[in-house]
Chain A
Amino acid sequence: MGLESKLINDGFFTTTVDALAAWARESSVWPMPMGISCCAIEMMASGDPKYDISRFGSEVMRFTPRQCDLMIVAGTVTYKMAHVVKKIFDQMPEPKWVIAMGACTSTGGMYRSYNVVQGIDQFLPVDIYAAGCPPRPENLLNALMQIQDKIGKTRVKDFPDPPHTSYDEKQGELSLSKN
């Protein structure tokens, strides 16, 4: 294993704070399952004993946004639901990443109709798109591994102190202001 072999000789090893922080962040990505429709079932299936997601560190699928750092949007997002997804995304603390799972979240999928948002990147910053309808659990695990690679390349200075967020009464949305 990685760490033990280094520790056996000297009892200590040197690294950078960046690498340590990135390793800690990527090995314990706690997903926030925004399970909306069919892809949610495949997300549940990726947590079952056959395609265990907890071996990747994502043991706990917390349903509260305050404790998560990865939001997996699984399912068709309609216009009515988009406001809810955005609200929950805003409630997640930095650093946060988004996986757009399935065809419906990436581009609207097979639903070219009046009530389906044709791609959640119209209102959310997406990091990884997982294709499929629904993507197989292995596909979702691959997406998770790619998020882990992405996190592994980050540095501590990419995530400065969070700016002071103020609630703008007129707009009715959270807005960021430099304070």
Chain B
Amino acid sequence: MKELLKEKLEKQFTTVQFEFIEQFDELTLKFDKSAIVNVCAFLKDEDGLKFNFCEDVTAIDWATRKNRFTVVYHIFSMENKFRLCLKVDVDETECSVESVSSIWKAANWAEREAYDMYGITFLNHPDLRRMYMPEEFEYHPLRKEYPLMGIPGAIPLPKK
């Protein structure tokens, strides 16, 4: 399955640089964020791959100056029973990536959560609102600079 994947991806996307990492019995694919929608559409529809189930979309904050965030996609192929992890790097200055909710509807809410927690904008998302925090909330909680106990007064409490 891994060889088939490498072969098909390299044949189809000649301009994109793929980095294959194998660790703990899992395969991870790293590439540039501009190709995300095309690669995902290819992975979903191609015969022999058929990654029809998007399990999760999330992000990691590395707290470095360059390439601060990494957006991680976990997709699963029910036919071949194979799980793949895709990673794209997102910089803080251009904090946006194309949304894959047009390919898998399951990614819709997961991307909203990533937006709420990290502030990464997903372009062409049908309904990009905050997920957990109230709409008026100004910060993004899971960024590394946000304190664990929160900022006092950020969300008001009712009076006694």
Direct contact of A and B (CB under 8 A): yes
Interface residues of A (CB under 8 A from B): 79-80, 82-83, 86-87, 112-115, 117, 122-125, 173
Within 8 Å by CB of A123, from B146, B147, B150, B159, lies B159
Known: A80-B134, A114-B146. 5 other contacts (CB 8 A): A86-B158, A112-B149, A114-B150, A115-B132, A123-B160
B78 within 8 Å of A by Cβ?
no
18 A-B pairs, CB-CB below 8 angstroms? A79-B155, A79-B156, A80-B134, A87-B158, A112-B148, A113-B148, A113-B149, A113-B150, A114-B146, A114-B148, A114-B150, A114-B151, A117-B157, A122-B160, A123-B157, A123-B159, A123-B160, A173-B159
Of all chain A residues, the one with the shortest Cβ separation from B146 is: A114
Kindly name the residue among B148, B154, B155, B158 whose own CB sees the greatest number of chain A CB atoms within 10 A. Answer: B158
Min CB distance, B143 to chain A, in Å?
12
Interface residues of B (CB under 8 A from A): 132-134, 141, 146-151, 154-160
Chain A min CB distance to B159 (Å) = 7
Known: A80-B134, A114-B141. A122 touches B150 (CB 8 A): no
In angstroms, Cα B158 to Cα A123, docked, is: 6
